[in-house]
Amino acid sequence: MRKKIVAGNWKMNKTSEEAKALVSEIANIYQAEISNDVEVILFPPFVFLQDAIQLSQDSKIKIGAQNCHQEKSGAFTGEISAEMLKSIGTNYVILGHSERRAYFGETEELLAKKLKIAFETSLKPIYCCGETLEERKSNRYFEVIENQITNALKDFSATEMKDIVLAYEPVWAIGTGETASPEQAQEVHQFIRNLIEKQFDLKTAQNTSILYGGSVKPSNANELFAQTDIDGGLIGGASLKARDFIEIIKAR
C-alpha cells in the first residue's frame, strides 16, 4: 500500500535560530500528538539541514533538501551534490518544483539527470509537476503534465519507481491562496496514476504516492486528502508555522 506523506517546503525562509526552533517545535508536537502512520518530511534550506537532522533524530521526522546538482562532483561553484546531502544524513530531495523550472530554467532533460543522480545516491526524490494558469485556461494541462512526467521518468524501471514520490502542484495555486478544488486535484491525480500505469504497470501505479501542493492549509487539507488518489501534501506557506503544519499532518 502506498504511504501518506506530508512534506514541508520551507523555500528561502527562516534564519538559523528560527529554523532550529521550528524543527524542535514540530518534532515535539509530533511526538506528543501524532499517532497516525504519516511520513513527515521537512525541507529546510541547505544551510539548516545539518541542524534539522540533528534536532529531529529522536523523532520519526525525515529531512530533505530543496534541490541538488545533476553531476556527482566537480567544478560547479556554489552548487550542492546529492552525495554531499546523503553524507550528512538527508533522506529526500525535491526536484522539478515549478519555481526551479520558472526562475532557474530547469528543463525536463536536466531534471531527468537530477532524478538519476538522486536515485543513485539513495536520496528519495519528490518529483513535482503542474501547469500554469494559462495552460489550464487553454485546456492544455493534461498534455503539459504528461510531458513533465513521461520525459523525466523515462529512464526509470518499475522497481526504481518504489523510491520516487510524485507531487502535483498547479502553478496557479502555489502561494496564491487559491487552491485547486478537491475535484480538480483528484482529476489530475487520477490522470497521473493512469500515466504511471501506462508507463510501468498497475501495481507500480497503485503503490506510487502522489502528493498535492498549492495553498494547502488546515482548513482545506481534510477534503483534499480525502480524495482517492491524493496521498498527502507538499506544503509551502503553512509549513512555516508549527501549529498549522501539525493540523495538516493530522488531516485525513
List contacts with ligand PGA (CB under 6 A).
9, 169, 174-175, 213-216, 234-238
CB closer to ligand PGA out of 7 and 205? 7
Instruction: Give the nearest distance from C-beta 149 to ligand PGA in angstroms.
Output: 17
- Listing DSSP states for 92-120 in one string gives EEEES-HHHHHHS---HHHHHHHHHHHHH
Q: Nearest-5° angle of CA 132, CA 99, CA 209?
A: 80
Instruction: Give the nearest distance from C-beta 197 to ligand PGA in angstroms.
Output: 25
CB closer to ligand PGA out of 64 and 200? 64
Instruction: Give the nearest distance from C-beta 175 to ligand PGA in angstroms.
Output: 4
Q: Is 169 a catalytic residue?
A: yes
Of these residues, 97, 106, 108, 189, which one is catalytic?
97
CB closer to ligand PGA out of 18 and 120? 18
Residues 93 and 82 sit within 8 Å (Cβ to Cβ): yes
Cell numbers describing residue 107: 528543463
Of these residues, 106, 131, 135, 169, which one is catalytic?
169
CB closer to ligand PGA out of 193 and 233? 233
Residues 85 and 120 sit within 8 Å (Cβ to Cβ): no
Instruction: Give the nearest distance from C-beta 98 to ligand PGA in angstroms.
Output: 7
Contacts of 93 (CB under 8 A, 6+ apart): 64, 65, 66, 67, 68, 82, 85, 118, 123, 124, 125, 126
Which phi and psi (to 5°) does residue 174 adopt? Answer: -85, 120
Residues with active-site annotation: 97, 169
